[in-house]
A and B are shown apart, each in its own frame.
Chain A
Amino acid sequence: MELMSPFYELAGLVYQPGFMRRSAAALFFLTLTASAVGVLVVNRRMAFFPDAVGHSVFVGVALALILNIGIQPTVLFLGLIIGLLIIFLSRHGKLAPDTVIGLTFSGAVALGLALVSREPQATAGLTKFFLGDVLTVTDGQVLSLGFLTLLSIIFLLFLTNRLTLASIVPRVKAGTELAEYLFGAFLSVVVMLAVQAVGVLLVTALLVAPAATGRVLASSFKAMFLSAVVCGVIAGQAGLWASSQPSINTSVGATVVLANVFLFGLAVVFRRFRPDRG
């Protein structure tokens, strides 16, 4: 865990308890990754992809309990399958991506509810996925999130330009099959890890809100990307700090998302009154 000690020491400037330091480090990695990947999600008009993948958690938890297998790997695996299914149907079906996402979302929720209604004990397992639980994160999970952040940087180094070009020039789409599936798979993993931090109800905001703020503030891709990442990380840490204040004392996931929405609102006001922008 020595790898994480610089992050823990930095968090130690604000927080004394170990669980708060781990939460701060986990949120740093998660918000950095989610807001960076979220830029591609927003620019590719896939804002509801995280919702559809996130809701597959119902199926994952119920299946894991029915089959008596580990919840974590089952949930991750099912999220991956749903994400790849959406990419496949969007590429090969005759339906627009929003229709495919809507159908997959409904199907995942319906199957999850059907399974949960058959196995009532699954309801208990679902609770932590509804609202997320970043405060109980372990050292191992923080390390995993750090590794995910490293992977996302490598992924974005190689695929940002290709995926952006494919979303603009129709002909280029033909040569980007592998990149699209890689993106779908990677995004699904990010979503399923984010679900555990902020909950399935708020996961979309963690990916989409920082990118939306960046988009409001910026006129270039580079500026949008950098502002999204900065806003996402700031909102994550501000949300954690605010939720830990006795006078506020709210759920971390919800407070992080509220901080993101607050920054988005500020960006809209800033843009509205900035003289050089319409």
Chain B
Amino acid sequence: MTCITLDRVGVTLGRFKVLSEVTAQIPAGRQTVIIGPNGAGKSTLIQTILGQWPHTGTITFDPAVPRFGYVPQRLDFDRHMPLLVREFLALGISQRPLWLGLGPKVADRVFQGLEQVQAEYLVNKPMGSLSGGETQRVLLAAAMMTEPDVVVLDEPTTGVDISGEQLLCEILDSFKNNRTIVMVSHDLATAKAHGDWVICLNHRVVAQGRPEDIFKPAVLAATFGIHWGLEAQTGEGRSWEAPWNS
């Protein structure tokens, strides 16, 4: 079953055409990884899916109006700002202002959210004291607490050490049967090990398919431009049959 269908989607930012004729399918209840070189439009694509950029072409969803949980690549904040993890998580789910403290129901939800990402020990820690991996797990908890249909992650393993990355991937694996996960990643090893479906993007879709079909020298060369003259044409625009449709 397809959760998100992109049909000839194009995005122009200023004078620069970032995405052109992007046609792709994102399966429901699976983990889709979008890979591509720097500046290929990966982040723009997920921001377009999230409705942040105007686009040409069509994007259709199933369910028609999905609830998104978004995990940004980084937090744009002053690390010395006094803000506990439980306060940060309450910001997204509670109308009660932080200066009145957390109500008992919100405090319970926050703790359960942290339990989901094996981070309950962080509940009273300042946000600024977290490591890269801990920050990503807290951001994932924040996204999951909104009970999303689709979880969108923008390069979640950037700046995370190997053990933190492994833990994050295991947690994402445990979520994917109930949620659709869409992740932008620079890390090909992670994409290969944990992705169910891979979209190779370089302003347009170079190839899409299961990891075993995508992680071949010809397709990667076409996507990343390595040995361009020798093998570039081999993977151009190629799509493998989506297994959830067969």
Name A156's contact: one of B80, B99, B101 (CB within 8 Å): B99
Name A167's contact: one of B70, B77, B90 (CB within 8 Å): B77
List of B residues within 8 angstroms of A224 by Cβ? 82
A169 close to B98 (CB less than 8 A): no
Name A157's contact: one of B47, B81, B97 (CB within 8 Å): B97
Q: Is A114 an interface residue (CB 8 A)?
A: no
Interface residues on A, range: 20 to 34
Minimum CB distance partner of B80 in chain A: A215
B70 close to A221 (CB less than 8 A): no
List of A residues within 8 angstroms of B80 by Cβ? 215
Q: Is B165 an interface residue (CB 8 A)?
A: no
Task: Compute the total of residue contacts between A and B using a CB distance below 8 Å.
Answer: 73
List of B residues within 8 angstroms of A171 by Cβ? 47, 50, 52, 70, 72
A220 close to B92 (CB less than 8 A): no
Chain B proximity of A175: nearest CB distance (Å): 10
Known contacts A161-B98, A164-B98, A169-B75; decide if A219 and B126 are in contact (CB<8 Å).
Answer: yes
Chain A proximity of B86: nearest CB distance (Å): 9
List of B residues within 8 angstroms of A165 by Cβ? 91-92
Q: Interface residues of A: mostly helix, strand, loop or mixed?
A: helix
Q: Interface residues of B: mostly helix, strand, loop or mixed?
A: loop
B76, B90, B91, B126, most chain A CB atoms within 10 A: B91
A156, A157, A218, A221, most chain B CB atoms within 10 A: A221
Q: Is A226 an interface residue (CB 8 A)?
A: yes
List of A residues within 8 angstroms of B87 by Cβ? 220-222
Chain A proximity of B4: nearest CB distance (Å): 18
Please provide the chain B residues from 92 to 145 with a CB less than 8 Å away from any CB of chain A in the complex.
92, 94-101, 126-127
Q: Is A223 an interface residue (CB 8 A)?
A: yes
Name B83's contact: one of A157, A160, A221, A226 (CB within 8 Å): A221
- By a beta-carbon cutoff of 8 Å, the part of chain B in contact with chain A is 47, 50, 52, 70, 72, 75-78, 80-84, 87-88, 90-92, 94-101, 126-127
What are some 6 contacts across the A-B interface (CB < 8 A)?
A: A156-B97, A165-B91, A169-B72, A171-B70, A220-B87, A221-B84
| A156-B97, A219-B126, A220-B87 known, 14 other contacts, Cβ within 8 Å | A39-B99, A160-B99, A161-B90, A161-B95, A164-B91, A167-B76, A168-B83, A171-B52, A171-B72, A215-B82, A221-B84, A221-B99, A222-B87, A224-B82
- Shortest Cβ-Cβ A-B pairs, 8 listed: A225-B99, A160-B97, A168-B77, A165-B91, A221-B98, A224-B82, A218-B82, A220-B84
